[in-house]
Amino acid sequence: MKKTGAQIFVESLRKEGVNTIFCYPGGATLNITDELHHATDIKQIVVRHEQAAVHASDGYARASGKVGVCLVTSGPGATNTVTGIATAYMDSIPIIVFSCQINTALIGNDAFQEADIVGITRPCTKHNYLVKDVKDLARIIKEAFYIARSGRPGPVLVDIPKDVTANMADFHYPEDVHIRSYRPTYVGHVGQIKKALKLIASSERPVLYTGGGIISSGASKELRRFSEMLSIPVTSTLMGLGGFPGDHPLFMGMLGMHGTYAANMAVIESDLIIAVGARFDDRATGKVDEFAPRAKIIHVDIDPTSISKNIKVDVPIVGDSRNVLKKMIELLEQEKEDFKDYPSKIAPWVEQINKWMASYPLTYNRTGLLKPQYVIERIYELTKGNAIIATEVGQNQMWAAQFYKFIKPRTILTSGGLGTMGYGFPASIGAQVAFPDALVIDIAGDGSIQMNIQELATAAQFNLPVKIVILNNRYLGMVRQWQELFYERRYTWTPMDYAPDFLKLAEAYGVAGYRIEKEEEVDTVLKEAFMNKKTTIIDVRIDPYECVYPIVPPGASLKEMLIV
Amino acid sequence: MRHIISVLVENEFGVLSRIAGLFSGRGFNIESLCVAETMDPTISTMTIVTTGNEAILEQILKQLNKLINVIKVIDFKDMDYVSREMVLVKVNATEKNREEILRMVEIFRGRIIDVSAKTYTVMITGDEDKIKAFLTLIKPLGIKELVRTGPVAMLRGEKTIKMKEKHGKGEEDGQGVL
Ligand SMILES: Cc1ncc(C[n+]2csc(CCOP(=O)(O)OP(=O)(O)O)c2C)c(N)n1
Ligand SMILES: [Mg+2]
């Protein structure tokens, strides 16, 4: 039986097991929108700005591990998604953005609400499609889901002209995908893995440097087992947090620009870096020529373009992080004898790292005005790592990464690669939709939260009890910090004194609002706010001049940390 | 270092712009680009000439491979290959130099494909060296206009570029480089 494109679209979503979409309507979406009228099995979260629809599907994907889906209209609807798509692309998050397009016959005519969204998003999607014929629709949707979640995951955009949603075709959802030009490598080369183990056996100061690949491949169990078998200390990028328990004795914390002293020194002194699912981003490596100057490097990554891009690698292993770690563990077990003495051999190294951690822990000066670090510490203590934490971008993001111990994977939602202010709140909406009973907290800045503040209406409408903790320093704090340190305190453009009263704003949107000004209020207010079943804003008035430490000045080597 | 790269791609709209975008977006340079269908009409070959050091080339090859529509990438460097390019040159033809142009065209086994009162249009095919030599010699006679196709290339002897489908790129050498 023939179906319309809109029916095929909805049926295809069902075939993919999609039960939630984030959406915003327009003329071009109407056939699909109308088709979804009776689809009670598909939750339809209508946002207030298309950028938020993309971030929400991204947050949904990060928290759940499933592909996030959003749907927007042509022209401005589509162009509003670009920041969201670029954010997901930089962090390798599997989402699908369905944009509706004007009628096929009008494409290229500068018609009303036409935008060449396929052209615009080519450099920031893993792949994208323009569906020219309704007969191709089901196959393209199948391919889009496959491409988004396989290999190194990423966003895929599918542009569907309105006439395609009205035209009729037979509906067969393909059983499997065959793309001759796309076959990601999952299994690491055994010879290379053996070479890696040899290097490990001969090393004395090894460091596991892990990234987002641990999360996307689901490798946290294997990572922990591998690290514990050999007692190798672990440091993680921002994207990798939660991939290894933040309270584990072998965990050194994050490395890089705002990394811990121990993690950065360990990298500097190491004789072997084992990079797994990380990509040697400049925020992690500091001055790249001076990154791990004495170390050999093993690099496991599913994306060959990440290997030897920024740094010359001694043993490259292309493959899925989980798969490769599994194989390494298997081989270690077979060669138990060879590695029997390894942990005791490297004990002095672990000892040295423990000394660094004890002498230079993450710390702050708790006198004077309320400190943001204290607030994060309390949030951690009150939730014991059992919350999903989204962050905005800036100091708030770094304090969250430093002072909240992420115990489990998929509990941090943060824009690592693009650094998108305004990401955190819509992302936490997505996570809350995926896990209605979870405690989802957006650790926000007063600047960032204003970039997608309109989503308060969405959260309220769909009864999403997201907690927004605004670390309110009345500044674009991170930029101000750079001005303080590197531009002689000329605070040009960064003061945010002119901001809404967030409590009145909460009231205006019909959500709950609290304010914290002193340490004594922190626990009581947070506890009450976390119990509240409503969307909740907590406006926390913090010391405006608090800085994030340690900091490696931009372009400097990791050993040139400024510490408190 | 100058490289000739052949890229087998799905013959679909938008693929050329993906490849071109990859080069421009990463600051890589394309010196010449030649695109046409293969024996299999669903596949096109793009022959690209680019320059860069080893590290840049490695990135270019990997990035090309990463594109979903790219079936295969071949770098002809270190391979035994033949390459040819075609050039059209419009030269000033005067009483004095007509003879010399004709002689040169003959030596280089080119052809005059268009004639006017004041010009000859010459077609020359050959490898890089031959074309360079021809252009150096003809230049003093006065070139009015020059159009080049950019080279196309093929392996020497019986070897062909296997249309083996991309699979687990890198499984064999563990490096993911082709
Ligand atoms: C969309 C966007 N615009 C600009 C920036 C540059 N930027 C990085 S951090 C920052 C300040 C963020 O201020 P706020 O949200 O108040 O966080 P704070 O650093 O004060 O915690 C700015 C402007 C950015 N990351 N994203
Ligand atoms: Mg701020």
- Which of B68, B70, B73, B166 has the most A C-beta neighbours within 10 Å, making it the best mutation to test the interface with A? B68
CB A519 within 8 A of CB A368: no
Residue A560 lies inside a defined structural domain of this protein: no
- At B173, give phi and psi (nearest 5°): -105, 0
Question: pLDDT at position B161, please?
Answer: 82
3-class SS of residue A280: coil
Predicted confidence band of residue B178 (pLDDT cuts 50, 70, 90): very low
Question: pLDDT at position A32, please?
Answer: 98
Question: pLDDT at position A314, please?
Answer: 97
Q: Give me the mean pLDDT over the A479-493 stretch.
A: 98
Question: pLDDT at position B173, please?
Answer: 37
Q: Are A122 and B167 in contact (CB < 8 Å)?
A: no
Cα–Cα nearest to A378, from A345, A400, A347: A400
Instruction: Give yes or no: residues A401 and A508 share one domain.
Output: yes
Residue A470 lies inside a defined structural domain of this protein: yes
Instruction: Give yes or no: residues A161 and A13 share one domain.
Output: yes
Mean pLDDT of chain A: 97
Residue A549 lies inside a defined structural domain of this protein: no
CB A542 within 8 A of CB A370: yes
Residue range A125-149, pLDDT digits in tens: 999 999 999 999 999 999 999 999 9
Question: A303, A328, A359: which is the final residue of a domain?
Answer: A359
Work out how many CB contacts closer than 8 A connect A with B. Answer: 76
Residue A365 lies inside a defined structural domain of this protein: no
Is residue B174 pLDDT above 50, yes or no?
A: no
- Which of A181, A307, A323 has the most B C-beta neighbours within 10 Å, making it the best mutation to test the interface with B? A181
Question: pLDDT at position B163, please?
Answer: 67
Q: Give me the mean pLDDT over the A58-86 stretch.
A: 98
CA-based nearest residue in chain A for residue B24: A123
Residue A563 lies inside a defined structural domain of this protein: no
Question: pLDDT at position A371, please?
Answer: 98
Cα–Cα nearest to A232, from A206, A267, A269: A206
Query: How many Cβ atoms are within 10 Å of A153's Cβ, its own excluded?
Result: 25
Instruction: Give yes or no: residues A8 and A147 share one domain.
Output: yes
Question: pLDDT at position B1, please?
Answer: 85
Question: pLDDT at position B162, please?
Answer: 74
Residue A176 lies inside a defined structural domain of this protein: no
**Lateral strand order in the sheet of A206-210:** A251-254, A234-236, A206-210, A272-276, A296-301, A315-318
Is residue A411 pLDDT above 60, yes or no?
A: yes
Q: What Rg value do the Cα atoms of chain B yield, rounded?
A: 19
CB A211 within 8 A of CB A240: yes
Residue range B9-26, pLDDT digits in tens: 999 999 999 999 999 998
CA A91 – CA A276 distance, rounded (Å): 15
Q: Is the CB of A476 under 6 A from ligand 1?
A: yes
Bond preceding residue A550 cis, omega within 30 of 0: yes
CATH (domain of A521): 3.40.50.970
Cα–Cα nearest to A205, from A348, A301, A379: A348
Q: Are B25 and A191 in contact (CB < 8 Å)?
A: no
Q: Give me the mean pLDDT over the A22-33 stretch.
A: 98
**Percent of chain A residues topping a pLDDT of 90:** 99
For residue A296, what is the enclosing H or E element?
Answer: strand A296-301
CA B20 – CA B29 distance, rounded (Å): 10
Cα–Cα nearest to A393, from A373, A428, A371, A418: A418
Instruction: Give yes or no: residues A429 and A514 share one domain.
Output: yes
Question: A333, A359, A385: which is the final residue of a domain?
Answer: A359
**Percent of chain A residues topping a pLDDT of 70:** 100
Instruction: Give yes or no: residues A200 and A276 share one domain.
Output: yes
Residue range A360-385, pLDDT digits in tens: 999 999 999 999 999 999 999 999 99
Is residue B169 pLDDT above 50, yes or no?
A: no
Q: Which two tokens stand for residue B55?
A: 């590290």
Instruction: Give yes or no: residues A78 and A99 share one domain.
Output: yes
Q: Give me the mean pLDDT over the A511-537 stretch.
A: 98
Does the reported pTM lie above 0.90?
yes
Q: Judging by beta carbons within 10 Å of its beta carbon (0-12, 13-18, 19+), is residue A474 exposed, middle or buried?
A: middle
Question: pLDDT at position B78, please?
Answer: 87
Cα–Cα nearest to B83, from B33, B39, B126, B31: B126
The reply to whether A185 touches chain B by the CB within 8 Å rule is yes
CB A158 within 8 A of CB A95: no
Q: Which two tokens stand for residue B50?
A: 């680019």
CA A513 – CA A500 distance, rounded (Å): 13
CA A237 – CA A254 distance, rounded (Å): 6
Q: Is A519 among the catalytic positions?
A: no
* Residue with the larger pLDDT of the pair A189 and B162: A189
Instruction: Give yes or no: residues A328 and A261 share one domain.
Output: yes
Residue A295, C-beta contacts closer than 8 angstroms, at least 6 positions apart:
A205, A207, A267, A270, A271, A272, A273
Atom of ligand 1 nearest to the CA of A449: 15
CB B5 within 8 A of CB B61: yes
Alpha helices, DSSP H, located in chain B: 15-25, 54-66, 98-107, 128-138
Question: A301, A324, A359: which is the final residue of a domain?
Answer: A359
Question: pLDDT at position A1, please?
Answer: 85
Structural domain containing residue A519: 372-541
How far does the CA of residue A97 sit from the closest CA of chain B (Å)?
A: 17
Instruction: Give yes or no: residues A326 and A432 share one domain.
Output: no
Instruction: Give yes or no: residues A91 and A198 share one domain.
Output: no
Question: pLDDT at position A107, please?
Answer: 95
As a three-state string, the secondary structure of A299-349 is EEECCHHHCCCCCCCCEEEECCHHHHHHHHHHHHHHCHHHHCCHHHHCHHH
- At A298, give phi and psi (nearest 5°): -105, 130
Q: Is the CB of A419 under 6 A from ligand 1?
A: yes
Residue range A436-481, pLDDT digits in tens: 999 999 999 999 999 999 999 999 999 999 999 999 999 999 999 9
Question: pLDDT at position B172, please?
Answer: 37
Q: Which two tokens stand for residue B139?
A: 């230049």
How far does the CA of residue B82 sit from the closest CA of chain A (Å)?
A: 26
Instruction: Give yes or no: residues A399 and A497 share one domain.
Output: yes
Residue A529 lies inside a defined structural domain of this protein: yes
Residue A213 lies inside a defined structural domain of this protein: yes
Question: pLDDT at position B170, please?
Answer: 39
Instruction: Give yes or no: residues A325 and A257 share one domain.
Output: yes
Residue range A84-108, pLDDT digits in tens: 999 999 999 999 999 999 999 999 9
- At A125, give phi and psi (nearest 5°): -120, 155
Is residue B171 pLDDT above 70, yes or no?
A: no
CATH (domain of A287): 3.40.50.1220
How many domains, chain A? 3
Predicted confidence band of residue A564 (pLDDT cuts 50, 70, 90): confident
Question: pLDDT at position B177, please?
Answer: 33
Instruction: Give yes or no: residues A224 and A146 share one domain.
Output: no
